[in-house]
Amino acid sequence: MTMPLMKPKRKNPVLRTRQMNLPPWARGRVALGMTAAAAEGRFELQVCKDCSAVQYPPREACHKCLSPRLQWKPQSGQGTLLATTTLHHSNDLFFRERLPWRMGLVHLDAGPTVIVHLHGEVGDAPARVHVGARLDRAGQAVLIGFPENGSEHMADDRMLREMTSDPKFRKVLVTDGKTAVGQALVQALVKAGAEIVWVGHAEPWKKLPGFEDITKMKEVTLVPLDVTNGRSVTELAGEIGGKVDIVINNAELHRTFGISNRRGTDVAKNEMEINYFGLLRLAQEFGPALRARSADGVTHAAAWVNLLSIYALSNYPPHGTFSASKAAALSLAQCLRAEMRPAGIRVINVFPGPIDDEWNQNLPPPKVAPSALASAIVKALKEGIEDVYPGDVAQEWLERWRDNPKVLERELAAGGS
């Protein structure tokens, strides 16, 4: 049984901060299919379309019939642990700093035999286990063997915590606490065990419903933050940048209409100022601080979360300029992910469908409740997922976009949703 994680002691300020060493990250193009699935929380293996043989490791042709018609498909992960070993020495810097490290050999019910990292609650072989795919600190898929029935403190496992961004005992910045989503995020993070939640507020004179409730929480500290003001972002980064472990950028401006139904560019500029340039300002100021602390003990800097929109994938004309600003933010977030990856900082992009708020009040259900969106973000942090699509609308749009983005564009232009 995993022992519950104890609150870490304060770091000795005299000690030098460790630099990040990534685990082996080289992968062939074929193997990146497993990484793409793990980034969304799925365990997939190649399956031959001709003989149905399940493949591992990933390959160009079927190991049984040599057919090149291989397709990635979800797997149950059920299997039998055949053998275990514990590494007490490694030439790899990442593992050498984290020894001992337990590994195992698992025969999957689907057919292949795989080498996995073992969760601490998995016993000696033989034993039934559940294999899942996670992203390691280099952002590549690895396989982990989990016990069939774990304890309530499974997430505190030392090895598993290296693969995730669990907010427990971490310090989190939520950039906008005035919105319903921001308040739900604060509550979800506190419930998940965050030590400190800094909550940004740009207009303290506004008395919005629910804001006073979160300010009463002992874990919450209000901080002045206006993402449209470079000086505001710089001053806050100077004050808390070296302490933040997770940044959640939920600040956004959402207005309706597209091009011809609104005169001028003022609203579109304001959307870009917050949704795109706000992210850029935050990344420039807080990004270097997170990268510098990515190997800083049990509660190292771990993640950056961007609240985007499913409209970023394909423009929704009734919300046209908002969609464009989120598409720009998505492109910038991909750049941020590439720059954060060498430090082992996970960048999580969240693509919700319509949120149940004032700007979507005229849209019919289904809509994502702020509490459901907050729960999805915390779950992504706990499970180490990179891309999240909360809500039925987001899931449907994603499926249609992957099937044929041009068809989806035409459907949306014709008034479909």
Kindly state the helix (H) or strand (E) to which residue 172 belongs, with its residue range: strand 171-174
pLDDT band at 11 (very low <50, low <70, confident <90, very high): low
Phi, psi of 329 (to 5 degrees): -65, -35
User: For residue 58, how far is the Cα from the chain centroid?
Assistant: 25
User: For residue 119, how far is the Cα from the chain centroid?
Assistant: 21
- Calpha distance 53→279 (Å, rounded): 45
User: What is the DSSP code (8-state) at residue 360?
Assistant: G
The reported pLDDT for the residue numbered 21 is 87
Please state, in angstroms and as integers, the Cα–Cα distance from residue 47 to each residue in 38, 68, 75, 129, 138, following that order.
Answer: 17, 10, 10, 21, 26
pLDDT in tens, 108-144: 999 999 999 999 999 999 999 999 999 999 999 999 9
pLDDT in tens, 173-186: 999 998 999 999 99
Phi, psi of 270 (to 5 degrees): -65, -40
The reported pLDDT for the residue numbered 156 is 87
Phi, psi of 340 (to 5 degrees): -80, -25
Phi, psi of 82 (to 5 degrees): -95, -35
- Calpha distance 393→399 (Å, rounded): 10
Kindly state the helix (H) or strand (E) to which residue 149 belongs, with its residue range: none
Give the length of the chain: 417
> CA torsion 60→64→67→70, rounded to 10°?
-60
Structure tokens at 44: 């997939």
Give the residue range(s) of CATH 3.40.50.720 domains in the chain.
171-413
Q: Prior bond to 100 cis, omega within 30?
A: yes
Q: Are 323 and 267 in contact (CB under 8 A)?
A: no
The reported pLDDT for the residue numbered 212 is 81
Residues 6+ apart with CB under 8 A from 82: 104, 105, 106, 107, 113, 125, 126
Kindly state the helix (H) or strand (E) to which residue 379 belongs, with its residue range: helix 370-383
Q: Is the pLDDT of residue 394 over 80?
A: yes
Vertex 54: Cα angle to 37 and 26 (nearest 5): 50
Q: Are 340 and 290 in contact (CB under 8 A)?
A: yes
pLDDT in tens, 115-125: 999 999 999 99
pLDDT in tens, 96-111: 988 999 999 999 999 9
Structure tokens at 186: 């604060």
Q: Are 378 and 370 in contact (CB under 8 A)?
A: no
- Calpha distance 223→186 (Å, rounded): 13
Per-residue pLDDT, averaged over 244-263, amounts to: 92
Q: Is the pLDDT of residue 149 over 70?
A: yes
The arrangement of secondary structure in 171-413, i.e. its CATH architecture, is 3-Layer(aba) Sandwich (3.40)
Q: How many CA atoms lie within 13 A of 119 on its CB side?
A: 30
- Calpha distance 263→283 (Å, rounded): 32
Kindly state the helix (H) or strand (E) to which residue 191 belongs, with its residue range: helix 180-191
Q: Where is average pLDDT lowest: 15-24, 128-137, 288-297, 408-417? A: 15-24
Q: Is the pLDDT of residue 319 over 80?
A: yes
- Calpha distance 392→368 (Å, rounded): 8
The residues with which 144 forms a beta bridge, in sequence order, are 117, 132
Burial class (CB in 10 A: 0-12, 13-18, 19+), 71: exposed
User: What is the DSSP code (8-state) at residue 41?
Assistant: T
Q: How many CB atoms lie within 10 A of CB 91?
A: 6
- Calpha distance 409→196 (Å, rounded): 43
Q: Phi/psi zone of residue 150: left (φ > 0), alpha (ψ -120 to 50 degrees), beta?
A: beta
Q: Is the pLDDT of residue 22 over 70?
A: yes
Per-residue pLDDT, averaged over 72-96, amounts to: 95
User: What average pLDDT does the chain have?
Assistant: 92
- Calpha distance 302→26 (Å, rounded): 21
Report which of 177, 320, 191, 173 is spatially closest to residue 243, judged by C-alpha positions: 173
pTM, entire model? 0.93
Report which of 251, 234, 148 is spatially closest to residue 199, judged by C-alpha positions: 251
Helices (H), 195-344: 211-215, 230-240, 266-275, 277-292, 320-340
